[in-house]
Amino acid sequence: MGRHQRSETSGLISFVICAIVGAVSMNLYMEYAPAIWQLTQRRFMVCSGVVAACGVISFIVGYARKSSSLNLQHGWFVPIRRIIEIVSLSVVYGATIFLSSFALIGAANDMMGNAIFAGYISSVCAGFAGVVGYMTFVQAEMMNAKTIASLLPFFVISGVITAGVTTDDPYWYHNNFSQLGDRTTFAARMFNSTLMLAGTCIIIVSYFAISELVTTERLQRLWHDRTKADPNRGYMIPHFMVRIGVLAALLTISGLAFIGIGAFRYTPHNLMHNICAKGLPFVMLLLFVLLPWLAPRISKAVMVASDLAALVCAGFWANMMMGHNTLTNVEALAGLMFLGWFIVFSRQIAAIEADRVEAQLLHAQMVEGGMEQGIDEKEPTIESRIAADR
């Protein structure tokens, strides 16, 4: 069997194991948990937690079992960095699975009614755990940057919608999103947790994006230095480390701003909350406007779209200041614009990674065929920065 077929077969095995674990775990919980933990929302949280745990374990097994970095052949730093990367990716998957599962289970409960749905909770947990175990195992073995980038909107939208539906303040949207998280209720905790997890995931994905840009630039410079026959091959970005440092700082600050909005509720921490909430639009504006300088290898279409996004947000803000719109709508638009921009940006980085790997393969073939002159060193390893077998 080939690589893809083996991955699908292993995914089916993971489906069966995770389904069994989910059913057994939920049955034990329903039988032995105290009455206070048998409440509907807590029961759904435990079910989602079991599903997320199955998904994370399945992902770790599928991702780490073929890794060539978890040894001491290249010193201590490489396996430690690899472990940190695995933990980071697990956080992204765990957050996505937990919040998405919770939203779906809550929707099914509203549709069927709590009295009926309670009898199916173990079966639902088994089904969700099996599907998640299958998907995460297959995705882990075939991991690429586009997969990670596409996960971000699922848990953000799921978490915010769940918080909005379960809140006991039906008029929160007349003020702003901060009011949705400015309580100690379940809905407020869900909203704040979603923002903190979103910020964490932005920082994690940004790490892989920055790493790929550095790898691509390093390869371009290596080819430029080693290819004597054609010194103009590729192009080098002037002041690259300064640009990449500013880009990394802005992306990290944006992630920290999301974390701060969720961690510091407005009522007891209004100063810190406002710094994070009002500072985020300025960071977004800098990322949108400075993108051509920060990452010139990105497609020009993305740069134009970034400028349009900045203009649209500015237009909605001006419309709100004139009294024709609400702050909630402007916040929702800005948040969706940034998440949409971040997904497009991440997928552009994934495309750059795919093009780099393809170029390395082609270059290696040309070297083997004797078509390149002036090369006296071994070509660097052809690898994806996020591949499971790296």
pLDDT at 126: 94
Q: What is the pLDDT of residue 216?
A: 82
Residue from 23, 254, 1, 9 nearest 127 by CA: 23
String of DSSP letters for 128-158: HHHHHHHHHHHHHHT--HHHHHHHHHHHHHH
Written as six digits, the tokens of 265 are: 């509720």
Mean pLDDT per 10-residue segment, the chain (390 residues): 77 94 93 82 89 93 76 72 82 84 83 74 92 90 69 71 71 68 77 84 84 82 60 65 92 91 84 86 90 88 89 85 75 80 85 78 66 48 57
pLDDT for residue 27: 92
Q: Which residues contact 100 (CB under 8 A, 6 or more apart)?
A: 154, 155, 158
SS (H, E, C) 223-248: HHHHCCCCCCCCCCCCCHHHHHHHHH
Q: Residue 374: its pLDDT value, please?
A: 46
